[in-house]
Structure 1
């Protein structure tokens, strides 16, 4: 009997080792890896904290394997969530309002705010000292698609400044905008970094204004998921938010060399000085915040812009809780 018990005891010991390894690695972190299908709206240094979280292993530390794709538009990023081809998308939070008002089977909720100002820059063909918004009178601006955040922020800025008779071209795809401008189309162009700094360095454009400075506080981009996904995967959403918060915090104090190493893999072919210039431009603009919650004040600004731009009726405004879940962002800095 004793001989028969020895193999059984060895087998039990082996099973305990396997189970212990499966439950954790001794430092409080799970060895289980969860894959997250993630869709970004465009590739831009405007979203640097996200790339930092990926390159510095902050997602990996949380037990997440982030599979990233680029949707080229908030509408497409939201559609990916509804279709189930993305678990989490980085999009304009206005998409959550649009989907909620459609009264469909699925709704979206923003759970982590990444940017708190518009990140686009207005560029001119000639250097303009003391640019005034009235300088756009009678001019053509290559802008973003109708209903997108940068397009609405530009339009609201023109309304605020009382500028009329401006032609804004909105039918050029985002990846083709800089090329169209370089080929001679338009008097001005509205671009994000690092494309803006690239055109400036090439001598094809000059900085005229930053939309973030001109318009002020605006919740431009949020991490969004379907209500169903959040309900089924609250731990995953929390871990995702934790990693994002670490990325933003790291970026605040990192050296230029470390920032370059972190971002370079995501901007292959972009010169080092352009990457650093773009990061510096956004830091000076103050687009990133330590408090990644979507506040009621910011949400009010968003809905007012939507109404002003004719994409939302005043009577169709929604409650913040209908389209946002702030509990994850509120906890993210504590990890």
Structure 2
């Protein structure tokens, strides 16, 4: 959806101006591409870096950079849980903020060494390459506040893809108090 949104923002019609094969299982797109299917592919990491290391392709653009800040990860909880457990919510958000502070104050090499055990299938050089790419693209914000502009962009993308029946008011769905407290 993000890729198609970017295409539309740049005056291209994904249905008319190109042939996008959406029949391939997402986990198999890199293999299909390296096997000769298609001229371009949209990949998450570590697949993009693996294609480069194999000499099968090159990263030519970042959907994350070209789309604007899309909140790919958001944590949800029932209102009743939040109201009954504010200390758990604040503790969780504080821990996440601590992680954001770490990635924004350390080198790609330092981060890669710390997270390596979570990515056993990748070598340290690959993880470092990915982290450096994310840092160079300014992927990580300095705080966890789910901004209204990002919320609207997400709805624009969903709407553009025909996946949104109705827009939702930001103030009815997003709570930023805990993230605001954590960034202090």
Q: TM-score, normalised by structure 2?
A: 0.88
Is residue 55 of structure 2 the alignment partner of residue 203 of structure 1? yes
Residue in 1 aligned with 2:175? 325
Distance 2:80 2:138 in 1: 33
| Residues 257 and 280 of structure 1, relative CA distance in 2, 3 Å threshold | closer
Is residue 82 of structure 2 the alignment partner of residue 233 of structure 1? no
C-alpha displacement at 1:277, in angstroms?
A: 0.8
For this pair of structures, how many residues does the alignment match? 181
Residue in 2 aligned with 1:117? none
Say which of 150, 155, 164 aligns to 2:4.
155
Does structure 1 conserve the Cα–Cα contact (< 8 Å) formed by 2:100 and 2:140?
A: yes
Say which of 289, 292, 309 aligns to 2:141.
289
Residue in 2 aligned with 1:302? 154
| Cα RMSD, aligned residues only | 1.8
Q: Structure 2 stretches of 5 or more lacking a match?
A: none
Greater helix proportion = 2
| Residues 170 and 322 of structure 1, relative CA distance in 2, 3 Å threshold | farther
Residue in 2 aligned with 1:245? 97
Does structure 1 conserve the Cα–Cα contact (< 8 Å) formed by 2:89 and 2:178?
A: yes
C-alpha displacement at 1:262, in angstroms?
A: 1.1
Q: TM-score, normalised by structure 1?
A: 0.51
Residue in 2 aligned with 1:179? 31
| Residues 158 and 256 of structure 1, relative CA distance in 2, 3 Å threshold | closer
Does structure 1 conserve the Cα–Cα contact (< 8 Å) formed by 2:65 and 2:137?
A: yes
Greater strand proportion = 1
Deviating runs (4+, > 6 A) in structure 1?
none
| Residues 172 and 232 of structure 1, relative CA distance in 2, 3 Å threshold | farther
C-alpha displacement at 1:256, in angstroms?
A: 4.5
C-alpha displacement at 1:158, in angstroms?
A: 0.9
C-alpha displacement at 1:307, in angstroms?
A: 1.9
Distance 2:107 2:65 in 1: 25
Distance 2:72 2:109 in 1: 28
